[in-house]
Structure 1
């Protein structure tokens, strides 16, 4: 039986300059684009419509997530940061173009394209964190939650958090929807995409 978690609203930061350029960000950072700010504003409208009074709000400490949180949660609650919401690190591939990294993947890597790019890049990045370590980090964060929580994070970390809550194996990350400017509600083991 899957563990029960409090109600969650999980969202990814808005589009960044490096997202637009097709660069790996990981622990590095780039600013939100005008579209990214619009996506954060769309998330604000969703959160306002839902009503998050009494919800805890946690954000990744990375600049792109904090910029998104400041727009999305403006006037709705206080934002705290938690390092466990940071994006999966990509080691030597940080700042590099995705297409260049794709050429360096092992020949047996399964490359499936998702709204967050080829997920194999995050598993095989030299000196990167890898999915197993990310899953442990996501589980630690989720186990620490004591009530309804809004989580502002990153594409891969969002997928892993949702996989853990939904009882999905890591191999299913590519089957989970991604995207920016949306909010995923997880309640009673069910995921709903809010737009």
Structure 2
């Protein structure tokens, strides 16, 4: 499927968690949203309130931090939220729960606003980017129409790489961050703030 044949998407990363603030790797583990993280979710709500979401499905990762973010955004409108494990964060194996400062990577760290991507690719016992890309492609292929996706930092980047038809290294160049909304339509990418 080409990037232009995917439905319109709004892709969101969960709000800041206690572990984000502490520099701790989360992966498949969970940490509660901070007060700042809840405010970021409310900012995302305000952004999406300006958008006509008629006909959009809302799908969240079942991981607590993403689902809490989705509830903060959509509870006032009583929108139905479906969860899908394909939207879970990349599994980082033995590095889950570890402080970033304790970890070292080989070669180019591939720095982004959300930290070094190499932490997620090189994590011992982790999923790796190839498997994550296949998972994200499987999820996007399953969509029947436009959707709002509430997910995680690395999974968000990979979903956008797949939806835009970019090579794997495109993850480095895509914007990241919390409290924003990424919009993909007809192969074009925009950041809503």
TM-score range (shorter-chain normalised) is over 0.9
- Equivalence for 1:175: 173
Distance 1:192 1:13 in 2: 18
Unaligned runs of 5+ in 2: none
- Counterpart of 2:86? 84
What SS does structure 2 have at the residue aligned with 1:50?
coil
- Partner Cα separation in structure 2 for residue 110 and residue 144 of structure 1: 34
Equivalent position of 2:10 in the other structure: 9
Structure 1 segments, 4+ long, off by >4 Å, are: none
Deviation at 1:53, TM superposition (A): 2.4
Aligned to 2:162: 164
Provide the residue aligned with 1:60 in structure 2.
61
| Counterpart Cα distance in 2 of 1:74 and 1:55 | 16
Aligned-pair CA distance for 1:194: 0.4
Deviates more, 1:70-79 or 1:170-179: 70-79
**Distance in 2 (alpha carbons) for counterparts of 1:99 and 1:37:** 26
- 1:30-49 alignment to 2 at 5 Å? 30-49=31-50
* Offset at residue 116 of structure 1 (A): 1.6
Q: Is the 8 A contact 1:88 1:122 kept in 2?
A: yes
TM-score scaled by structure 1?
Answer: 0.95
> How far off is 1:75 after superposition?
3.1
Superposed CA offset, 1:132-188 (max 9, x none): 000000000000001110000000000000001111111121111000000011000
Q: Please give the secondary structure, in 2, of the residue aligned with 1:193.
A: strand
CA–CA separation in structure 2 for the residues paired with 1:111 and 1:126: 15
* Alpha-carbon offset, residue 2 of structure 1: 2.5
Q: 3-state SS of the aligned residue for 2:112?
A: coil
